[in-house]
Structure 1
Amino acid sequence: MTVGEKIKALRKEYKLTQDELAKKLGVAPTAVSAWERNANKPLMDKIMVMAELFNVPFTHFFEVDEYDDTHEVKLPLYGHVSCGEGLVVFETPTEYRATPEEWIKSGEYFYVRASGDSMIGARIYDGDILFMRKQDEVENGEIAAVCLEDEIVLKRVFRTNGSFILQSENPHYPPRIYNPKTDKNIRIIGKLEKLIVEF
């Protein structure tokens, strides 16, 4: 089944009209109609709401090739994430990437593309694809995607006295220190799970 067919089947199972589902999701009825026609795909935040509403795992909404023993799901790759007034907004994905289902445990996952040379010491280079688990906390020393204003940066994160220390893996870049209480437009958005190197 396509994503649209799955949404339509669940909506009918729960006896909701397109207008009623749209109202619950805070979108226009035309958006639900477009999803069900496969003219467009819902963003991840709407998928998460529908998963809770229909009591299914969020992976239910990703297309799985029934003839492929690896069972892949398609996850979004985000090119832009904004963080303002403490709110994180994921923009429309630039693409959806096939992902082995076995990589996905509990939680929500997505991809971002590495930018720059600040993490070359961790063998992360400009353009590499990063498989992330969405979460707003990480252990000290773990590599995380951090949203700063309208920019995603990848750093090792340390916490001390309530502040974030963002450490690069390149001696040319000094540590950056932020206080989440005063620096409102900073949020951890995910933990690095895997590095995808493309040749």
Structure 2
Amino acid sequence: MGNVASMSTIHKRIKDLREKLGLSMEQLAERVPVSWQTVQQWENGKTAPKRARLEAVAKALNTTSEYLAVGAAKHLGADEFVAVRHLGVRLSAGHGKTFLSEDEKSRLLFRADFLRTAGVSPEQTVSVSVKGAGMEPLIPDGATVLVNRAATSIINGQVYAFLQNDEVRVKRLHRGNGGFITRSENGVGKPDPRQDFEDSKIEIIGRVFWVGFRL
């Protein structure tokens, strides 16, 4: 009692989205949170998420509860989503964070038409987490951003992820004096203390074009 939608369809949508995100049953279970055995029962059709749990499952799978409940008849199907790599490196909006690696940690699903409208390709798009309050309120501490790795030419005032002295940072960039000037969002447009960098001291990773965060 209390279950929603047909278990013969909802379980397949949960499994398909989980696999497209590259998540194990245990990883999905941690996101909800439930036991991995519960996720297994959802996917093999023995049970389905109750209404109180459905929204949490949808959020963990980067979809909507409506899609899980009714499928593609009224909503986009799983084949209209693309999986974007989420890298194991944290961008810093404050004092910088040591650049550790670009190991893929997981994948996030985004609508294919959203990426097309943004003018980016899935292959050149990565998501990373931001640490620090330097870009608040535009990019809160802990937010996830999408980075277009094909966009490495500086457009003054746009937000970029860049590597500087083995630190990965996310700031607004401007060209100036033969190098770059960085500006934080909460600095009221003032240049950062280390404002001027030569080209050889900075490596552009890509332009930030989307931000998402938990309320």
* TM-score bracket for this pair, using the shorter chain length: 0.5 to 0.7
8 Å contact 1:114–1:128 — kept in the other structure?
A: yes
The residue aligned with 2:141 is 126
Residue 198 of structure 2, aligned match among 171, 180, 188? 180
TM-score computed with the length of structure 1 as normaliser: 0.55
Correspondence for 2:152 among 136, 140, 153:
136
| Corresponding residue for residue 84 of structure 2 | 75
> Structure 2 counterpart of 1:77, which letter?
H
- State the shift of 1:93 in Å: 1.6
State the AA in 2 paired with 1:68.
G
More helix by share: 2
Q: Is the 8 A contact 2:154 2:175 kept in 1?
A: no
Query: CA-atom RMSD, angstroms?
Result: 3.3
* Residue 94 of structure 1: aligned partner: 105
1:77 and 1:95 in contact (8 A); partners too: yes
The gaps in structure 2 that reach 5 residues or longer are 1-18, 21-71, 92-98
Which letter maps to 1:99? Answer: F
Give the CA deviation at 1:96: 0.9
Paired-residue identity, %: 23
SS of 1:177's partner is coil
Q: Aligned partners of 2:154 and 2:87: how far apart in 1? A: 20
Partner of 1:24: none
**Based on CA coordinates, which of the two structures has the bigger radius of gyration?**
2
Q: How many residues align?
A: 130
Contact 2:146 2:208 in 1 (8 A): yes
Q: Is the 8 A contact 1:163 1:177 kept in 2?
A: no
Alignment of 1:141-180 (within 5 A): 141-171=157-187, 175=192, 176-180=194-198
2:120 and 2:148 in contact (8 A); partners too: no
Cα separation, 1, equivalents of 2:106 and 2:133: 23
3-state SS, counterpart of residue 104 of structure 2: coil
Secondary structure at the residue paired with 2:142?
A: coil
Q: After superposition, give the CA deviation of every residue in 1:153-196 in whole Å (9 maximum; x if it has no partner).
A: 11010101221001111239951324334xx3421111111111
TM-score, length of structure 2 as denominator length: 0.51
| Structure 1 gaps, min length 5 | 4-65, 83-87
Secondary structure in structure 2 of the residue aligned to 1:198? coil
Partner deviation per Cα, 1:89-118 (whole Å, 9 max, x = no partner) = 962122111111112234421111111000
Partners of 1:81 and 1:186 in 2: CA distance: 17
Alignment partners' CA distance in 2, 1:118 and 1:70: 37
Contact 1:132 1:191 in 2 (8 A): yes
- The residue type equivalent to 1:76 in the other structure is R
Shift in CA distance, 180/136, structure 1 to aligned 2, threshold 3 Å:
farther
SS of residue in 1 equivalent to 2:113 = helix
Contact kept, 8 Å, 1:119 with 1:125, in 2: the verdict is yes
